[in-house]
Structure 1
Amino acid sequence: MNIDVGARLRYVRMQRGLSQRALAKQAGVTNSSISLIEANEVNPSVGVLKRILDGLPISLSEFFAFEPEKPRQVFYQAEELVEIGKGGISFRQVGENLFGRALQIIKERYEPGADTGRVMLTHEGEEGGVVISGRMELTVGEERRILGPGDAYYFESNRPHRFRCVGPVPCEMVSACTPPTF
């Protein structure tokens, strides 16, 4: 039997409402360790996996015993989107259970002045999006650009990046990330 440890870990982490960074902090491992495991780029030792699972908390036996349901839903009403953001940033994810999925789609809303933080984000995969309304300052590595309605972006997510709403009105975007590691 071949078990997808990365997808399973991502599923359990997201069910608990934790970001990769939050789980890494709780488990005492690096954020990149969680990211690499979820992307199936590394196969964790039992000791490392146990340490990570203790941060959730879930036992090794529970982790390997449960069978996540495969997502079957195709269409989503606006109220069915799952909120995974907090504070001045709303991330409304399409689908609650991303187990076995290769793509994460998010409707984002940033209140004026809201940003993802001074510490730049990094995670495995690629991401892209389109600004629907408002203005967004996007920094990717050393590049910085202010994007307005209709403008778009697409980059490798392992490049340090930061989003910040500029201007007096909220910024709304639709984005996608593959694999779903955000």
Structure 2
Amino acid sequence: MAESEPAVKPPDLKDGDDVGSRLKAVRRMHGLSQRELAKRAGVTNATISLIEQNRVSPSVGSLRKVLDSFPMSLAEFFTLQFDDSSQIFFRADEMPDMGTGSVEHRLLGSGIQGREMSILYEVYPAGSDTGPEMLSHTGEEGGIVVSGQLEVTVGAEAAVLGPGDGYYFSSRRPHRFRNPGDCDCILVSANSPPSV
């Protein structure tokens, strides 16, 4: 008869950290009931319940099997921060205009520390543009036109985009934007890493 795997806490788990509470928080974060998680992991509902109550200490292998249901690695499980109180929802008046000149660039989540992307609500008035010089920087960017028209030039290629049309390219390629229409162009765009 094979020996079962010993119950071992990975070395990055601090004394006092609670596997059961972490599992419960991760399960709730993913919107799963104990029963749904048990079914996905191929274990009994009682097993999940006992782990969450800290009445059973799962082996590394057993915990890995449960975490594969999310999917999530052991490292992610033990380092995930649950006390993140960052703002999630933003009203229009909470997005500062980061634009220059006549182009409006409203930045979503401007106060979030360590932001890894910029999401912008942009308004290009008729005839406005990003300037005569082509832009170039690290990262990637993309956007979708909500209304109006936007001429996007990337290197030697150019296209006039309308509502529902979009673009996505490496920001290292020289680029510029211009509204050739006679009304405002509204655009939702993103770039990573954040340039604003």
The question of a shared fold, defined as TM-score above 0.5 by the shorter chain, is answered with yes
Any idea what SS the aligned residue of 1:116 has? coil
Question: Which structure has more strand as a fraction of its residues?
Answer: 1
- The alignment partner of 2:110 has SS state of coil
User: Unaligned 5+ residue runs, structure 2?
Assistant: 1-83
Task: Name the CA distance, whole Å, in 1 between partners of 2:134 and 2:184.
Answer: 21
Return the offset for 1:88.
1.4
Q: TM-score, normalised by structure 1?
A: 0.60
Give secondary structure in 1 for the equivalent of 2:153. Answer: strand
Question: Which of the numbers 110, 119, 142 marks the counterpart of 1:96?
Answer: 110
1:163: which partner in 2? 177
Structure exhibiting the larger radius of gyration computed from Cα positions: 2
Are the equivalent residues in 1 in contact too, given 2:146–2:188 (CA < 8 A)? Answer: yes
Q: What does residue 148 of structure 2 align with?
A: 134
Contact 1:102 1:179 in 2 (8 A): yes
Question: Larger RCO: Structure 1 or Structure 2 (Cα < 8 Å, ≥ 6 residues apart)?
Answer: 1
Tell me how far 1:71 sits from its aligned partner.
7.6
Of stretches 156-165 and 79-88 in structure 1, the one that deviates more from structure 2 is 79-88
**What amino acid maps onto 1:180 in structure 2?**
P
- Give 1:97 deviation, angstroms: 2.3
Task: Give aligned pairs, total.
Answer: 113
TM-score of the superposition, structure 2-length normalised? Answer: 0.55
Q: Distance in 1 between matches of 2:180 and 2:156?
A: 18
CA distance in 2, matches of 1:123, 1:153: 16
Match of 1:107 in 2: 121
Deviations 1:52-105 (CA, angstroms, capped at 9, x unpaired): xxxxxxxxxxxxxxxxxx881100011111110132100000022243111110
Distance (whole Å) between structure 2 residues aligned to residue 101 and residue 168 of structure 1: 35
Code of the aligned partner of 2:163: P
Aligned pair 1:80/2:116, yes or no? no
Alpha-carbon distance in structure 2 between the residues aligned to 1:127 and 1:107? 13
After TM superposition, the structure 1 = structure 2 runs for residues 109-124 of structure 1, keeping only pairs within 5 Å, are 109-124=123-138
The unaligned stretches of length 5 or more in structure 1 are: 1-69
Report the identity percentage. 49
| C-alpha spacing 1:71/1:106, structure 2 compared with 1 (3 Å) | farther
Alpha carbon RMSD of aligned pairs, Å? Answer: 1.4
Q: Is the CA contact (8 Å cut-off) linking 1:98 and 1:180 kept in structure 2? A: no
Structure 1 counterpart of 2:171, which letter? S
- Is the Cα–Cα contact under 8 Å of residues 107 and 172 in structure 1 kept in the other structure? yes
